[in-house]
Amino acid sequence: MFASTIENHVVESLPQVELKGHINLVSTRSQVEHAARYLSRQPVLGFDTETKPRFSSGRMYMPALLQFSDGVSSYLIHLKKTGLPQEIVAILCDPAIIKVGAAVRDDIAGLQRYAPFEPAGFVDLQDMVQEYGIVEKSVKKMSAIILGKRISKSQQVTNWEAFPLSGAQALYAATDAYVCYSIYNKLIAHNSEKKSPRQRMYEEILVSAASLLKDEPDLVANMANVSALIKETFKFWWVGFYRIDNKSRELVLGPFQGPLACTRIPFGRGVCGTCWKQRKTIIVPDVEKFPGHIACSSRSRSEIVVPLFDKKGELIAVLDIDSEKTGTFDQMDSRYLEELAGLFKNIY
């Protein structure tokens, strides 16, 4: 399973990507013909462009380089020498040749300044990774998470209109297309790890909650924002925390989102009190079938309650979520919500 995010220092510790195969430089008519013949036979191509950086405001330069990689050979097309040749436009418009890149809309818009064309068969890794619960969008971080490899960005801001390119520039440009190709292939091979939209929403909640809790030490403030995060994401009927009051042996209503709720629940009573007593997540598919369920609202039909522990393993609160529909929650919800509850444990 792929991680949803990765920290910079972890990326920097990874081994560097090694480009496989040959780099073909394309600047003449016969080289264009050779490249187009080869590339048009490939089902999948990594794709990227490079544009000379502009340091003052104003219109961007036209892309100087168009790169393709089929994982074996890389082709660097010097657009300043070749223009955008018709044979290459045919590849960019062929729905049967998958072109894989990152933020491809920008590359396409740049290429369309050479010649108008109707792009087809493009896959944007920034969209594709979301299906796997990956939140990162930069090629560097996607490469780190998916390939376990680091790509160097040291050549990114160089003069891409130079001819000939330096060896380091050619290697960088080819590697970018190669990495896009490799990421795509690996994702396809791990097709079964795609996440449902609901899982992806939980992954995003976890990332947001981790960053909220990292910056704020106050328990109530964090509970307030986390309940808002869940409520806003899923639109559940009621989301909130009950905190343990050891003196009265009661749960006391904490930060929540939704309609008014009961303020105190004794130990062992209702779903929340049972969660406290059993120290584990309770899923209630139908509240009418749970003996002792406390109906704060007649609209609540199913419920999940997750315990929150502190560092010492003491139970400090429960997170309660109510749905207006029966059977809303299952093991997937409990897995993610327990992970969310675990973020509090790291802090308190």
**Any idea what the Cα angle at residue 150 is, between residues 148 and 151, rounded to 5°?**
135
| 3-state secondary structure (DSSP) of residue 167 | helix
Q: On the CB side of 87, how many CA atoms lie within 13 Å of its CA?
A: 16
Which residue, 231 or 293, is less far from ligand SME as judged by CB? 293
Find out whether 347 and 317 touch, Cβ atoms under 8 Å.
Answer: no
Chain length of the chain: 348
**237 touching ligand SME, by CB under 6 A:** no
- DSSP-derived secondary structure letter, 195: P
Interaction with ligand SME in 204-233: which residues (CB under 6 A)? Answer: none
Report, in Å, the least distance between residue 329 CB and ligand SME: 13
- Piece in contact with ligand SME (CB under 6 A), picked from 48-56, 93-101, 296-304, 335-343: 296-304
Which residue, 50 or 320, is less far from ligand SME as judged by CB? 320
DSSP 59-126: PPPPEEEEEEE-SSEEEEEEHHHH-S-HHHHHHHT-TTSEEEESSHHHHHHHHTTTS-----SEEEHH
Report, in Å, the least distance between residue 262 CB and ligand SME: 6
Which residue, 120 or 295, is less far from ligand SME as judged by CB? 295
- Residue closest to ligand SME when measured from CB atoms: 270
| Residues contacting ligand SME: total by CB under 6 A | 14
Find out whether 138 and 150 touch, Cβ atoms under 8 Å.
Answer: no
Report, in Å, the least distance between residue 341 CB and ligand SME: 16
3-class SS shares of the chain: helix, strand, coil, % to 5: 40, 20, 40
Diameter of the chain by CA atoms? 86
- Measured CA to CA, the distance from residue 300 to residue 286 in angstroms comes to 9
Report, in Å, the least distance between residue 270 CB and ligand SME: 3
Which residue, 133 or 255, is less far from ligand SME as judged by CB? 255
156: which 2 tokens? 């990114």
Binding test (CB under 6 A) with ligand SME, winner from 147, 252, 261, 315: 261
Binding test (CB under 6 A) with ligand SME, winner from 238, 241, 336, 344: 238
Which residue, 17 or 275, is less far from ligand SME as judged by CB? 275
Report, in Å, the least distance between residue 315 CB and ligand SME: 15
Pattern 262-291, ligand SME, x by CB under 6 A: x--x----xxx-------------------
| 3-state secondary structure (DSSP) of residue 197 | helix
Report, in Å, the least distance between residue 239 CB and ligand SME: 9
Query: Measuring CA to CA, which residue among 282, 276, 198 is closest to residue 236?
Result: 198
Report, in Å, the least distance between residue 117 CB and ligand SME: 57
Q: Alpha carbon of 172 to those of 46, 94, 150, 155, 274: distances in Å? A: 14, 26, 12, 6, 58
Find out whether 71 and 19 touch, Cβ atoms under 8 Å.
Answer: no
**250 touching ligand SME, by CB under 6 A:** no
Interaction with ligand SME in 307-336: which residues (CB under 6 A)? Answer: 320, 322
- Measured CA to CA, the distance from residue 121 to residue 96 in angstroms comes to 6
Report, in Å, the least distance between residue 240 CB and ligand SME: 6
Q: Could you list the residues that contact ligand SME (CB under 6 A)? A: 238, 261-262, 265, 270-272, 293-294, 296, 300, 303, 320, 322
